[in-house]
Structure 1
Amino acid sequence: MIKNHFKIAWRSLKKQPFITSLNVFGLAIGMAGAILITLYVYDELNFDTIFADSERIYRVNADVKFGGAVMNMAETPPPMASVLETDFEQVEKVTRIRNWGGLLISRKDSKSNGKEERSAYVDPNFFDFFGLKFIEGNAQKALDNNNALVLTESSAYKYFKGSEALGKTLRLNNEDIYTVAGVVEDMPKNSLLREHTVFMSMLGFEDSRSQDWGSHNYFTFIKMVPDYPIDNFKEPLQSLFRSYTLPSVQRYFPGITEEAFLASGNYVRYNTTPLQDIHLHSNRHVELSQNGRIENIYILASIGLFLLILASVNFMNLSTAHSLKRAKEVGIRKTLGSKKKGLVGQFLTEAGLVSFASLLVALLVAVIALPYFNEIAGKEIAMPFGNPVFWLLLLLGSVVLGLLSGWYPAFFMSRFKPVKVLKGSGEQHIGGGRVRSALVVTQFAISVFLIVGTLVIYRQLQFIQGKDLGYSKEQVLVLNDVFTLGGQKLAFKERIKSLSSVENATLSSYLPTPSNRSDNSYFEEGITDQEYAVQMQRWFVDYDYASTLDLTVVAGRDFNRDFPTDSLAMIINESALAKMGQSADEVLGKRFSSNIGDENAVFYTVVGVVRNFHFETLRDEIGAWNMIIGDFSNSMAIKLKPGEFSSSIAQIESVWEEMAPGQSFNYYFMDESFNDTYQTEQRLGHIFIVFTTLSIIIACLGLFGLAAFNAQKRTKEIGVRKVLGASVAQITYKLTLDFLKLVGLAVVFALPLGWYAMNRWLEDFSYRIDIPWWVLVVAAVSAIFISVVTVGFQSIKAAISDPVKSLRTE
Structure 2
Amino acid sequence: MFKNYIKIAWRSLKKQPFFTSLNIFGLAIGIAGGLLISLYIYDELSYDTMFADADRIYRVNADIKFGGPARDFAVQSAPMAATLKNDYPEVELATRFRTTGSMLIKESGTETNVKEEQTTYVDATFFEMFGVSLLIGDTATALKEPNTLILTKTAAEKHFNVNEALGQHLVLNNGDTYTVTGVIEDLPRNSFLRDHSVFMAMEGYEDSRNTEWGSHNYQTYVKLIPGADAKGFETSLKNILKDYVMPWAQQIYPGVSLEQFEQSGNYIRYSIIGLTDIHLHSDRVAEISPNNRIENIYILSFIAVFLIVLASVNFMNLSTAHSLKRAKEVGIRKTLGSGRAALVRQFLIESTLIVLFSLIMALILSALALPLFNSLSGKEISLPLLNPVFWLVLLAATAILALLSGSYPSLFMSRFIPVKVLKGSGENSLGGSKIRNALVIFQFAISVFLIVATLVVYQQLRFIQNKELGFNKDQVLVVNDVFAIGQRANSLKDQVQGLGFVESATLSSYLPTPSSRSDSSFFKEGSTEQENAINMQAWGVDHEYMSTLGLKIVAGRNFDRQFGTDSLGIIVNESALNILGLQPEEALGLRLSRDLGQENPEFYKVIGVVENFHFDSMRSDIGALSLTLADNGGSMAVKLKAGDFSNVVAQVEAVWNKVAPDQPFNYYFMDESFNTTYEAEQRLGRIFMIFSILSIIIACLGLFGLAAFNAEKRTKEIGVRKVLGASVGQVAYQLTVDFLKLVGIGILISLPIGWFAMNKWLEDFSYRIEIGAWVFVLAALLAIAVSIITVSYQSIKAAIVNPVKSLRTE
- Structure-1-length-normalised TM-score: 0.99
Q: Distance in 2 between matches of 1:684 and 1:265?
A: 38
Q: How much has 1:583 moved relative to structure 2?
A: 1.5
Q: How much has 1:714 moved relative to structure 2?
A: 0.7
Q: How much has 1:615 moved relative to structure 2?
A: 0.4
CA contact (8 A) 2:340 2:414 kept: yes
Q: Distance in 2 between matches of 1:354 and 1:643?
A: 59
Q: For each residue in 1:666-711, what CA deviation from the matched residue of structure 2 results, as whole angstroms up to 9, or x when unmatched?
A: 1111100010111101111111111111111100100000000011
Q: Distance in 2 between matches of 1:69 and 1:785?
A: 49
Q: Distance in 2 between matches of 1:585 and 1:427?
A: 82
Q: How much has 1:550 moved relative to structure 2?
A: 0.3
CA contact (8 A) 1:128 1:140 kept: no
Q: Distance in 1 between matches of 2:140 and 2:648?
A: 50
Do structure 1's residue 45 and structure 2's residue 45 form an aligned pair?
A: yes
Report the 3-state secondary structure (helix = DSSP H, G, I; strand = E; otherwise coil) of the residue aligned with 2:764. Answer: coil
1:787 is aligned to 787
2:410 is aligned to 410
Q: How much has 1:163 moved relative to structure 2?
A: 5.2
CA separation of 1:161 and 1:645: change in aligned 2, threshold 3 A: farther
CA contact (8 A) 1:188 1:194 kept: yes
Q: Distance in 1 between matches of 2:458 and 2:357?
A: 36
1:400 is aligned to 400
For 2:524, the aligned partner's letter is E
Q: Distance in 2 between matches of 1:678 and 1:235?
A: 35
2:614 is aligned to 614
Q: For each residue in 1:119-172, what CA deviation from the matched residue of structure 2 results, as whole angstroms up to 9, or x when unmatched?
A: 000001112211123211122211111111111111111111555212111111
1:674 is aligned to 674
1:641 is aligned to 641
Which is worse superposed, 644-653 or 455-464? 644-653
For 2:796, the aligned partner's letter is I
1:21 is aligned to 21
Report the 3-state secondary structure (helix = DSSP H, G, I; strand = E; otherwise coil) of the residue aligned with 1:312. Answer: helix
CA contact (8 A) 2:519 2:536 kept: yes
Q: Distance in 1 between matches of 2:432 and 2:359?
A: 28
2:366 is aligned to 366
Do structure 1's residue 737 and structure 2's residue 766 form an aligned pair?
A: no
Do structure 1's residue 138 and structure 2's residue 138 form an aligned pair?
A: yes
Report the 3-state secondary structure (helix = DSSP H, G, I; strand = E; otherwise coil) of the residue aligned with 1:758. Answer: helix
1:512 is aligned to 512
CA separation of 1:523 and 1:284: change in aligned 2, threshold 3 A: same
1:68 is aligned to 68
1:36 is aligned to 36
Do structure 1's residue 156 and structure 2's residue 168 form an aligned pair?
A: no
CA contact (8 A) 2:68 2:536 kept: no
2:263 is aligned to 263
Q: Distance in 2 between matches of 1:424 and 1:668?
A: 73
CA contact (8 A) 2:68 2:535 kept: yes
Q: Distance in 2 between matches of 1:380 and 1:392?
A: 23
1:758 is aligned to 758
Q: Distance in 1 between matches of 2:161 and 2:791?
A: 62
For 2:276, the aligned partner's letter is Q
Q: For each residue in 1:570-595, what CA deviation from the matched residue of structure 2 results, as whole angstroms up to 9, or x when unmatched?
A: 00000001110011222100100011
CA contact (8 A) 1:728 1:800 kept: yes
For 1:343, the aligned partner's letter is L
Q: Distance in 2 between matches of 1:629 and 1:161?
A: 45
Q: Distance in 2 between matches of 1:256 and 1:502?
A: 53
Q: How much has 1:484 moved relative to structure 2?
A: 2.1
2:767 is aligned to 767
**Runs (5+) with no aligned partner, structure 2:** none
Instruction: Kindly report which structure 2 residues correspond to 1:425-444, keeping only aligned pairs within 5 A, or say none.
Output: 425-444=425-444
Do structure 1's residue 715 and structure 2's residue 694 form an aligned pair?
A: no
1:694 is aligned to 694
Report the 3-state secondary structure (helix = DSSP H, G, I; strand = E; otherwise coil) of the residue aligned with 2:237. Answer: helix
Q: How much has 1:485 moved relative to structure 2?
A: 2.0
CA contact (8 A) 2:124 2:144 kept: yes
1:662 is aligned to 662
Do structure 1's residue 625 and structure 2's residue 625 form an aligned pair?
A: yes
For 1:491, the aligned partner's letter is S
Q: Distance in 2 between matches of 1:573 and 1:756?
A: 36
For 1:121, the aligned partner's letter is Y
CA separation of 1:674 and 1:161: change in aligned 2, threshold 3 A: farther
For 1:749, the aligned partner's letter is I
CA contact (8 A) 1:716 1:807 kept: yes
Q: Distance in 2 between matches of 1:792 and 1:434?
A: 22
Q: Distance in 1 between matches of 2:561 and 2:57?
A: 52
Q: How much has 1:644 moved relative to structure 2?
A: 1.9
Q: Distance in 1 between matches of 2:71 and 2:48?
A: 25
For 1:766, the aligned partner's letter is S
After the TM superposition, which segments of 4 or more aligned residues of structure 1 sit over 6 Å from their partners?
Answer: none
CA contact (8 A) 1:125 1:140 kept: no
Q: Distance in 1 between matches of 2:409 and 2:487?
A: 81
Report the 3-state secondary structure (helix = DSSP H, G, I; strand = E; otherwise coil) of the residue aligned with 2:403. Answer: helix
Q: How much has 1:765 moved relative to structure 2?
A: 0.6
Aligned-residue Cα RMSD (Å) equals 0.9
Q: Distance in 2 between matches of 1:54 and 1:644?
A: 52
Q: Distance in 2 between matches of 1:462 and 1:692?
A: 19
Q: How much has 1:625 moved relative to structure 2?
A: 0.5
Q: For each residue in 1:701-727, what CA deviation from the matched residue of structure 2 results, as whole angstroms up to 9, or x when unmatched?
A: 000000000111111111111111111
Which is worse superposed, 32-41 or 65-74? 65-74
1:243 is aligned to 243
Q: How much has 1:311 moved relative to structure 2?
A: 0.3
Report the 3-state secondary structure (helix = DSSP H, G, I; strand = E; otherwise coil) of the residue aligned with 2:572. Answer: strand
Q: Distance in 2 between matches of 1:648 and 1:501?
A: 8
1:566 is aligned to 566
State how many pairs are aligned: 810
Q: Distance in 1 between matches of 2:234 and 2:222?
A: 13
For 2:587, the aligned partner's letter is V
Q: Distance in 1 between matches of 2:228 and 2:161?
A: 46
For 2:654, the aligned partner's letter is S
Q: Distance in 2 between matches of 1:514 and 1:19?
A: 54
Q: Distance in 1 between matches of 2:118 and 2:643?
A: 33
Do structure 1's residue 209 and structure 2's residue 209 form an aligned pair?
A: yes
Do structure 1's residue 282 and structure 2's residue 282 form an aligned pair?
A: yes
CA contact (8 A) 1:715 1:809 kept: yes
Report the 3-state secondary structure (helix = DSSP H, G, I; strand = E; otherwise coil) of the residue aligned with 1:160. Answer: coil
Report the 3-state secondary structure (helix = DSSP H, G, I; strand = E; otherwise coil) of the residue aligned with 1:520. Answer: strand
2:192 is aligned to 192
Report the 3-state secondary structure (helix = DSSP H, G, I; strand = E; otherwise coil) of the residue aligned with 2:158. Answer: helix
Q: How much has 1:110 moved relative to structure 2?
A: 2.5
2:379 is aligned to 379
1:528 is aligned to 528
Report the 3-state secondary structure (helix = DSSP H, G, I; strand = E; otherwise coil) of the residue aligned with 2:164. Answer: coil
For 2:343, the aligned partner's letter is L
1:304 is aligned to 304
For 2:260, the aligned partner's letter is A
2:348 is aligned to 348
Q: Distance in 2 between matches of 1:181 and 1:643?
A: 51
Q: For each residue in 1:402-461, what CA deviation from the matched residue of structure 2 results, as whole angstroms up to 9, or x when unmatched?
A: 110111111111111100111121433011110000000000101000000100010011
1:6 is aligned to 6
Which is worse superposed, 69-78 or 153-162? 153-162
Do structure 1's residue 539 and structure 2's residue 523 form an aligned pair?
A: no
Which is worse superposed, 169-178 or 735-744? 169-178
Q: How much has 1:194 moved relative to structure 2?
A: 0.6
For 1:734, the aligned partner's letter is Q
- Structure-2-length-normalised TM-score: 0.99
Q: For each residue in 1:737-782, what CA deviation from the matched residue of structure 2 results, as whole angstroms up to 9, or x when unmatched?
A: 0000000000000011111111111111111111111011110000
Q: Distance in 1 between matches of 2:485 and 2:228?
A: 53
CA separation of 1:595 and 1:740: change in aligned 2, threshold 3 A: same
For 2:118, the aligned partner's letter is R
Q: For each residue in 1:76-102, what CA deviation from the matched residue of structure 2 results, as whole angstroms up to 9, or x when unmatched?
A: 000011111111110000000000000
Report the 3-state secondary structure (helix = DSSP H, G, I; strand = E; otherwise coil) of the residue aligned with 1:159. Answer: coil
Q: How much has 1:69 moved relative to structure 2?
A: 2.5
1:295 is aligned to 295
Q: Distance in 1 between matches of 2:577 and 2:327?
A: 80
CA contact (8 A) 1:63 1:72 kept: yes
For 2:709, the aligned partner's letter is F
Q: Distance in 1 between matches of 2:517 and 2:144?
A: 30
Q: Distance in 1 between matches of 2:316 and 2:133?
A: 52
